[in-house]
A and B are shown apart, each in its own frame.
Chain A
Amino acid sequence: MGAVTGSVGETLAAIVGASRMQEGAAVDGTFAVDGVLPRWGVRVQTLEHVSRVLALAWEAGLAVVPRGSGAGQELGAPPSNVDIVLDLRGLDQVVEYNPDDLTITVQAGVTAGALTARLVPRRQFLPLDPPAAEARTLGGITATNATGPLRLRYGTMRDLLLGVKFIQADGVVTWGGARVVKSVSGYDVPKLMVGALGSLGVIGELTLRLHPLPDAEQTWLIPCRDAATAQEFVLRLLDSTVQPSRVELLNAPALAACGAPGSAAAVAVSVGTAEAAVKAQGEALGGLGRAVGSAAARPAQGFWSRYAAALVPAQCVELGVATLASKVGEAIGEIERAVAASLSGVAPTIGGSAPLGSLRVVLPPAEPARVKSIVERLRAAHAPAGGGVTVRRAPRDVRVAVDPWGPVETGAFALMRSLKEEFDARRVLNPGRFVGGL
């Protein structure tokens, strides 16, 4: 490819303008992926830019890594090669907001914070709250399927993405889904873009379903003597008529990081609805707490921001453990034992949506071999129930030592490989980062 280098740069400069393209030694550190600088760094401003850059990469056989805020760049395996890094933050326009229909169409580089600012005057919101969401782009949140506690009530991006415009590996601009809240015309293409790390197409534009902000909202903390009791409380709550927005289970280090009173474990519950109903459900929660020998209390203001911060310290290894609501207590014990066996003196910070069995485990940076043994032990423990363990965030050397995704069922993986082969046979889009090296 050496002979081509200069002229690829010229073509890129012709597409996006010389000031928005960096080449070779001039590429600055902000374009680095896992510490590796690409040969070209490109800042796009239109979907047409993305289309033409990808068409060029397709013809020239170059690998393209799309990026938004960069918050999700430690998800997945390190890319097998990086020729062009495509910075999508310039796609920052709201295309169409229809408050009466509770829908909005935005470009992929719009941040969740900018979206919130636009929606709050109409008392609407996009109920996706991954840690540090404000600075993240909606394209990035979609590509990494980032979630937070509100997923319990409102679902994930899978449930909120109505339509998507994406650019295929060969540069063809494609649209799937609809701009209304209910549609079944054609295949449900948007589902393929959620959590796919841009490996089937670069997300350009999103049509999202919005929700009204609840009139009132309150949070309670139910301290428990151990994780098993916390699980019992959660199961009783699920079997009640209370309709919570968030139900997160925290272990002792997570509680400490939130500045909450110490206990072995606790469940944090929020309810958002009409004021009288918030109060009534609070009383019901009190009753459910007493049934497991606990007293529900109100945490200090700002609990959910402190909780989000506790789960994203500056440097860490973050694991996702997927299990069932009826097994979360057991899973927490297993995680604590697995960590103790490999990292003496380290207590993992554990939180997550207990009713969905979706746990997050935060560890301090550690030797790759030790993380590997923790992950392998947990994978062996969770495989029988259909659960899995993913490395959601870790320094590069950890993600080289451990397959961050873990095994995928053979038949399903064969279909995934065919999908990638069909839509990106030249492996232009984020090669090597997705499951099974796709």
Chain B
Amino acid sequence: MVSSIGGNVSTNAGGPHCLKYGITTNHVLGLELVTGTGELVTLGGKVADRQGYDLTGVVVGSEGTFGLVTAITVRLVHAAQAVKTILASFTDIEDASEAVSAIIAAGIIPAALEMLDELMIRAINEGTGAGYPKDAAAVLLIELDGPAAEVEAQGERAARICWERGALEVRVAKDNDERALLWKGRKEAAGAVGRLAPTYLLQDAVVPRSKLPAIMRELREIGVRHGVQIANVFHAGDGNLHPLILYDDRIPEELERAKAANEELLHACIEMGGTITGEHGVGLDKAKNLPLQYADADLNFMYRLRGVFDPDRLMNPGKLLPAHPACGEGFHPPRPRLPQGAWI
């Protein structure tokens, strides 16, 4: 799979390394944009301090609805001196989640902190033979990078934390080949679920990290309620879930059940203080879910903001912002109350 920098900018893309390095917007210094009115504008640039509104910041993640991004200036980061990868297996996903919290509470911000749940582990073990322990109900992949001495000290501490939280096994990669092996299962996760079901809905939602055990319980219950299996592989460090809702597209009502489970899952994430998309964007499908997270006043602001860049609403119509019955002016916020008074 490949992605272009323009696509990353458009969706404000993330990935496994965000906990430490931030998302796309944190690295974009400037853009060249053709707005909805056909004007070519230069926003930001190589110099860090700029005057005026942060237009670069608001164009990143606008999913092509403000205009076409034609050039991008990014800040680069020096490659790290050392990398250390640790794989810890647990018999209980709650222990694994606690290990995640304890690692961060210890002041360690890993470059990646990925988790696989029981169903996913089974699919991977049967598929690629990554060799995760058979009894594992959660696998945690921890990657640290930075100055060698820092990686060494923090790696030891992270491994110790995993043991303290009841890890079944902790493996530390000794070289690049071993690193690749530890990542192999994670990287092939999406393919491995093919062993369990012919099709899946891949979701992208976020909960506060401390709510990981609660959302995992909730996902199990949602799966049971709708008669679907849900496999999980996610960026545990920032609470960014990627549930794979498995179904068989040859059976017509299975897709409906998967979709119902999907909607319920998004509601559950919002209930826990999360968000409906962490890194893949709103697009067409989730535009209808945006009102779960934002009130009419908030959506009205976004609608008008889009109009500043693209007054005729020609760019990528239907993406990101939900359609509204009142179309056009939509999303009227309630007006503030003023006291009864004779000031007018």
Contacts and interface: CB of A to CB of B under 8 A. Distances in A.
Interface stretch (A18-26, A63-71, A233-241, A259-267): A233-241
A2 interface: no
A11 B49 contact: no
Given A101-B209, A188-B57, A322-B49, A180 B239 contact: yes
Contacts of B239: 101, 180-182
A181 B109 CA distance: 13
A60 B278 contact: no
A59 B277 CA distance: 38
A31 interface: no
A320 interface: yes
Contacts of A103: 208
Given A179-B208, A180-B275, A277-B153, A212 B238 contact: no
Given A60-B343, A238-B78, A274-B153, A280 B148 contact: yes
A182 B275 CA distance: 8
Interface stretch (B22-30, B88-96, B186-194, B225-233): B22-30
B284 to A, nearest CB: 14
A163 B304 CA distance: 19
A322 B50 CA distance: 8
B276 to A, nearest CB: 5
Contacts of B299: 186
A289 interface: no
Would you call the interface of chain A mostly helix, strand, loop, or mixed?
Answer: mixed
A434 B25 CA distance: 24
Contacts of A304: none
A100 B101 contact: yes
Interface stretch (A49-57, A84-92, A223-231, A332-340): A49-57
A396 interface: no
Query: Which of B26, B35, B208 is most buried by chain A, counting CB atoms within 10 A of its CB?
Result: B208
B338 A241 contact: no
Given A242-B147, A357-B47, A159 B26 contact: yes
A5 to B, nearest CB: 9
A415 interface: yes
Contact of B339 (A11, A158, A185, A390): A11
A273 B146 contact: yes
A406 interface: yes
A117 B49 CA distance: 30
B279 to A, nearest CB: 6
Size bin of chain B's contact surface: 35 or more
Given A175-B295, A415-B41, A322 B48 contact: yes
B308 interface: yes
A214 B157 CA distance: 14
B41 A182 contact: no
B78 A240 contact: yes
Given A189-B301, A214-B107, A274-B154, A155 B26 contact: yes
A290 interface: no
Interface string A213-254: 111000000000000000000000011111100000000000
B294 A186 contact: yes
A10 B343 contact: yes
A412 B66 CA distance: 13
28 contacts: A100-B208, A102-B104, A158-B57, A170-B335, A171-B335, A172-B334, A175-B294, A180-B208, A180-B274, A181-B238, A182-B238, A186-B294, A186-B320, A187-B58, A195-B53, A212-B105, A213-B107, A277-B152, A280-B149, A322-B48, A388-B47, A412-B41, A412-B43, A415-B55, A416-B52, A419-B308, A422-B308, A423-B301
Interface of A: 4, 7-8, 10-11, 14-15, 51-52, 54-56, 59-60, 98-103, 123, 155, 158-159, 168, 170-176, 178-189, 191-192, 194-196, 200, 211-215, 238-243, 273-277, 279-281, 284, 320, 322-324, 356-358, 385-388, 390, 405-406, 408-409, 411-416, 418-419, 422-423, 434-436
Interface of B: 11-14, 18-19, 22-23, 25-26, 35, 39-43, 45-55, 57-58, 60-62, 78-81, 101, 104-109, 146-150, 152-154, 157, 206-210, 235, 238-240, 273-282, 286, 290, 293-295, 297-302, 304-309, 320, 333-339, 341-344
Given A184-B13, A241-B80, A243-B150, 16 more contacts: A11-B338, A172-B297, A172-B335, A172-B336, A181-B239, A185-B277, A191-B57, A192-B305, A196-B53, A215-B107, A281-B149, A386-B45, A386-B46, A415-B55, A422-B304, A435-B52
